[in-house]
């Protein structure tokens, strides 16, 4: 959500900023902008609505040479997407880029207006620029002024500040929104995400909550929340990613759907010992000891990660016999949750930076959980650093805003964890053996789904002028129906709702007529007969039925019914398997509708504000 890049160097940094923004664009793409101090010590700013390439084109025309600058790609919170609301915001010699929300901005705005400050935007960010400007007195340094204004800002934010009068310096503050420093030789960088800087460095310092950093070409000084000078250890990150390479695919989402067999293989790699028992090298003796005592698991997550948690609840309870609750982080954090006895807090988060999930984790620290365990895709992220233990998904970088391979690798880690807990707690070892076997086979089964891609593509045509779709499933396929509906909403803008099939009679059946497509996930499992009765109820009311099933389920084609027969799959891994055809269907429907598949309107990849 919003992307920040900053650079200070002895070379021209304009292209570095633009490339950084391009790499962050998936996090926010309403508008973008940059401000630099040029060789004549002028503060120059460019801002454009829309994607980064529009800004890049404009900047290129001016042949700017600069050694210091800040840049931003925006996901609008306060103030609509427009040129005047795009960052950086300026107050005479001060320029600011900001990620997050200043909650008391109205109050500050009124105070600053009384001091004759004129506001040119509707944003909360502009108050930061004016506030800094207003606090400057003879002899004050930028860092001194920044320290003065921090207590006045309420909310969550990551900010980078530049002062035209001191072009050898950038100041950054992390309060609730991620910020990292990229270290170079004779040059340093800042960003809200390490991906933005991989073209210039692989060495990073992750700022902690409340840190203020002063960055020059040669030095990085950090003071913590208490105002004490601190050394934060740099970390070398070995990620390689070619941002220009979608390979044979037209969209990142399409590529990432197809990467799933490999991503799952990578996630499984190194997680079995010679006896095929699940091992997690990340979990030390202390963690194992805690996990052996766990009697309840509280899962917290948002979006697609929440849907992974919903599947896991079925698994934890039916296979590992451990009770489990799943809750959306933004709800959990604002109620008064009661922790159950011997309970583990399990967070699931692709980015490791989702504001609500992080807030829920922080809240849980006062609730005496046995421990907090994070399942996450980004090493070094805030979630990993603040959790007691973590398990990595090895999905690789996920660029498409609609999550695909992160979801299936989260489910893979969750199922591994189920098997691990079964063994650790001496539960049903037969389940554990069968889970391991099913996980081994899973990448191969998913490969086989792609053999049906043409059929799914042609099915998508049926949905080109449809406005509503129902998804139904039962048991651990119900959350897959929810995730299928989410994919369709996100990228095709078709209204889609998911229901447990048994709930149809309690409302949604009223929506079913000859214009209502109903997508049904119906593998041959113990709930199939029940599901078949629900399908009959839809059929008799003329609903347009699409059944994703397998050979053994025994569906026979009839009027208004299309049956997509997929390969047979082991029951344990069936939820991971069945989301893939639904991802493909959503992708091809969106393709027909001509939406922006990788960057759907109004959404962002990583939601770092509440």
- List Cα–Cα distances, 328 to 336, 354, 359, 482, 497, in angstroms: 14, 12, 12, 14, 17
Pick between residue 35 and residue 482 the one whose CB is nearest to ligand G6P: 482
Q: Is 396 one of the binding residues for ligand G6P (CB under 6 A)? A: no
354 binds ligand G6P (CB under 6 A): yes
**Residues 566, 574 contacting (CB under 8 angstroms):** no
User: By CB under 6 A, is residue 605 in contact with ligand G6P?
Assistant: yes
Structure tokens at 116: 């004759």
Tell the smallest beta-carbon distance from residue 51 to ligand G6P (Å): 17
Taking the least distance from each CB to ligand G6P, the nearer of 483 and 550 is 483
Is 403 one of the binding residues for ligand G6P (CB under 6 A)?
yes
- How far apart are CB 492 and ligand G6P at their closest, in Å? 15
Binder to ligand G6P among 18, 302, 322, 564 (CB under 6 A)? 302
* 149 versus 491: smaller Cβ distance to ligand G6P: 491
Please identify which residue in 267, 298, 304, 382 interacts with ligand G6P, judged by CB under 6 A: 304
CA proximity to 166, closest of 25, 250, 41, 344 = 41
Q: What is the DSSP letter of 513?
A: S
Q: State which of residues 297, 459, 607, 609 lies at the interface with ligand G6P (CB under 6 A).
A: 607
Query: Which residue out of 405, 487, 489, 605 is catalytically annotated?
Result: 605
Round to whole Å and give the CA distance between 489 and 497: 9
| Nearest by Cα to 343 from 290, 291, 297, 293 | 297
Q: Does 408 bind ligand G6P (CB under 6 A)?
A: no
- Within a 10 A sphere around the Cβ of 388, how many other Cβ atoms? 17
Query: Any idea what DSSP says for residue 514?
Result: T
CB of 403 or CB of 549, closer to ligand G6P: 403
Q: Any contact of residue 194 with ligand G6P (CB under 6 A)?
A: no
- Nearer to ligand G6P by Cβ, of 51 and 525: the residue is 51
Closest CA to 574 of 549, 592, 591: 549
Q: Which stretch binds ligand G6P (CB under 6 A): 71-79, 270-278, 397-405, 583-591?
A: 397-405
> What is the layout of strands, in order, in the sheet containing 468-473?
495-500, 468-473, 517-522, 544-550, 561-566
Listed in sequence order, the residues at least 6 apart from 588 whose beta carbon sits closer than 8 Å to its beta carbon are 456, 457, 459, 460
The yes or no reply on residue 349 touching ligand G6P (CB under 6 A) is: yes
Is there binding between residue 549 and ligand G6P (CB under 6 A)?
A: no
Q: How far is the CB of 484 from ligand G6P (least distance, A)?
A: 14
If DSSP codes are grouped into helix, strand and coil, which group holds residue 187? Answer: coil
Coil, strand or helix at 595: coil
Q: How far is the CB of 307 from ligand G6P (least distance, A)?
A: 8
Does position 350 interact with ligand G6P (CB under 6 A)? The reply is yes
User: What minimum distance in Å lies between the beta carbon of 399 and ligand G6P?
Assistant: 11
Q: How far is the CB of 603 from ligand G6P (least distance, A)?
A: 5
Measured CA to CA in angstroms, residue 559 lies from 65, 183, 518, 538, 551 at distances of 67, 64, 14, 12, 20
- 488 is a site residue for ligand G6P (CB under 6 A): no
Residue with Cβ nearer ligand G6P (36 or 300): 300
DSSP annotation string for 89-130: EEETTEEEEEEEEETTHHHHHHHHHHTT----SS-SHHHHHH
Is 605 labeled as catalytic in the residue annotation?
yes
**Minimal CA–CA distance to 7: which of 244, 240, 196, 207?**
196
Give the count of residues interacting with ligand G6P (CB under 6 A): 16
357 near ligand G6P (CB under 6 A): yes
Minimum distance from residue 73 beta carbon to ligand G6P (Å): 15
Active-site residue flag, 302: no
Among the residue ranges 104-112, 297-305, 512-520, 541-549, the one whose residues contact ligand G6P (CB under 6 A): 297-305
To the nearest whole angstrom, how small is the minimum distance from the Cβ of residue 301 to ligand G6P?
6
DSSP code string of 350-418: SSS--HHHHHHHHHHTTTT-SEEEEEESSTT-HHHHHSSEEEE-------SSS-SHHHHHHHHHHHHHH
β strands within 184-295, DSSP E: 188-191, 203-206, 212-215, 220-223, 229-230, 235-236
In this complex, which beta carbon is closest to ligand G6P, that of residue 177 or of residue 525?
A: 177
Which segment (271-279, 385-393, 400-408, 551-559) binds ligand G6P by CB under 6 A?
A: 400-408
Nearer to ligand G6P, 66 or 99 (CB): 99
Residue from 192, 267, 343, 351 binding ligand G6P (CB under 6 A): 351
Tokens of 552: 């053994």
Residue 303 makes contact with ligand G6P by CB under 6 A? yes
CA distance 364 to 117: 42
Distance CA 482, CA 158 (A): 33
Asked if 492 interacts with ligand G6P (CB under 6 A), we say no
Residue 381 lies near ligand G6P (rule: CB under 6 A): no
Buried b (16+ CB within 10 A) or exposed e, 303-333: bbbbbbbbbbbbbbeebbebebbbbbbbebb
Out of 101, 149, 401, 439, the residue judged to bind ligand G6P by CB under 6 A = 401
Using the rule CB under 6 A, give the single segment among 207-215, 346-354, 451-459, 510-518 that binds ligand G6P.
Answer: 346-354
Of the ranges 242-250, 521-529, 572-580, 601-609, which one interacts with ligand G6P (CB under 6 A)? 601-609
Is residue 452 near ligand G6P by the rule CB under 6 A? Answer: no
Nearest residue to ligand G6P by CB is: 303
Q: Which stretch binds ligand G6P (CB under 6 A): 189-197, 283-291, 338-346, 347-355?
A: 347-355
d(CA 60, CA 63): 6
Question: Shortest gap between Cβ of 378 and ligand G6P (angstroms)?
Answer: 8
Q: How far apart (Å, rounded) are the C-alpha atoms in residues 59 and 53? A: 10
Minimum CB distance to ligand G6P, residue 602 (Å): 10
Distance between CA atoms of 587 and 604, rounded to whole angstroms?
17
DSSP 305-366: HHHHHHHHHHHHHHTS--EEEEEEHHHHTTS-PPPPTTEEEEEEESSS--HHHHHHHHHHTT
Residues that bind ligand G6P (CB under 6 A): 302-305, 349-351, 354, 357, 401-403, 603, 605-607
Could you list the active site residues? 2, 605
């Amino acid at each position: 959500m919003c992307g920040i890049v900053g650079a200070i160097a002895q070379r021209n940094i304009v292209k570095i900023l633009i490339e950084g923004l391009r790499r962050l664009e998936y996090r926010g793409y309403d508008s973008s902008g940059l401000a630099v101090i040029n060789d004549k010590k002028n503060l120059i700013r460019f801002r454009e609505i829309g994607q980064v390439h529009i800004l890049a084109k404009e900047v290129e025309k001016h042949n700017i040479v600069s050694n210091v600058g800040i840049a931003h790609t925006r996901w609008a919170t306060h103030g609509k997407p427009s040129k005047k609301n795009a960052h950086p915001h300026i107050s005479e010699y001060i320029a600011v880029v900001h990620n997050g929300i200043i909650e008391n901005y109205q109050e500050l705005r009124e105070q600053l207006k009384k001091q004759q400050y004129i506001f040119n935007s509707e944003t909360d960010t502009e108050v930061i620029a004016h506030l800094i400007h207003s606090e400057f007195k003879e002899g004050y340094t930028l860092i001194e002024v920044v320290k003065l204004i921090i207590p006045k800002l309420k909310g969550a934010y990551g900010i980078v500040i530049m002062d035209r009068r001191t072009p050898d310096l950038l100041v950054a503050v992390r309060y609730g929104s991620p910020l990292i420093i990229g270290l170079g030789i004779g040059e340093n960088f800042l960003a809200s995400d390490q991906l933005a800087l991989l073209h210039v460095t692989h060495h990073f310092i992750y700022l902690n909550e409340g840190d203020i950093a002063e960055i020059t070409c040669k030095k990085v000084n950090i003071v913590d929340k208490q105002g004490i000078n601190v050394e934060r250890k740099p970390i070398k990150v070995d990620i390689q990613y070619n941002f220009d390479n979608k390979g044979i695919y037209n969209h990142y989402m399409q590529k990432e759907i197809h990467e799933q067999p490999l991503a799952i293989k990578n996630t499984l790699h190194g997680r079995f010992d010679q006896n095929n028992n699940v091992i997690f090298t990340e979990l030390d003796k202390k963690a194992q000891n805690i996990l052996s005592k766990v009697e309840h698991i509280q899962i917290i997550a948002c979006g697609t990660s929440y849907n992974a948690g919903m599947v896991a609840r079925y698994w934890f309870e039916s296979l590992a016999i451990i009770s489990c609750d799943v809750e959306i982080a933004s709800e959990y954090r604002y109620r008064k949750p009661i922790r159950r006895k011997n309970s583990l807090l399990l967070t699931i988060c692709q980015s490791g930076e989702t504001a609500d999930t992080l807030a829920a984790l922080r809240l849980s620290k006062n609730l005496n959980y046995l421990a907090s365990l994070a399942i996450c895709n980004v090493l070094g992220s805030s979630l990993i650093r603040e959790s007691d233990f973590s398990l990595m998904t090895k999905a690789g970088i996920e660029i498409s805003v609609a999550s695909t391979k992160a979801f299936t690798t989260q489910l893979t880690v969750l199922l591994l964890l189920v098997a691990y807990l079964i063994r650790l707690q001496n539960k049903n070892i037969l389940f554990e053996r069968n889970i391991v076997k099913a996980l081994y086979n899973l990448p191969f089964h998913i490969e086989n789904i792609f053999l049906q891609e043409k059929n799914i593509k042609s099915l998508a045509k049926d949905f080109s002028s449809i406005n509503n779709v129902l998804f139904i499933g039962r048991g651990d396929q119900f959350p897959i129906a929810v995730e299928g509906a989410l994919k369709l909403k996100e990228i095709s803008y078709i209204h889609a709702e998911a229901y447990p099939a048994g709930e149809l009679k309690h409302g949604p059946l009223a929506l079913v007529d000859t214009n209502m497509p109903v997508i049904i996930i119906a593998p041959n499992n113990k709930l199939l007969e029940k599901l078949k009765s629900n399908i009959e109820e839809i059929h008799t009311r003329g609903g347009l039925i699409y059944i994703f099933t397998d050979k053994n389920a025994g569906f026979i084609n009839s009027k208004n019914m299309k049956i997509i027969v997929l390969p047979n799959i082991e029951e344990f891994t069936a939820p991971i398997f069945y989301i893939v055809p639904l991802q493909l269907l959503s992708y091809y429907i969106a393709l027909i509708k001509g939406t922006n598949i990788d960057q759907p309107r109004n959404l962002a990849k990583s939601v770092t504000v509440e």
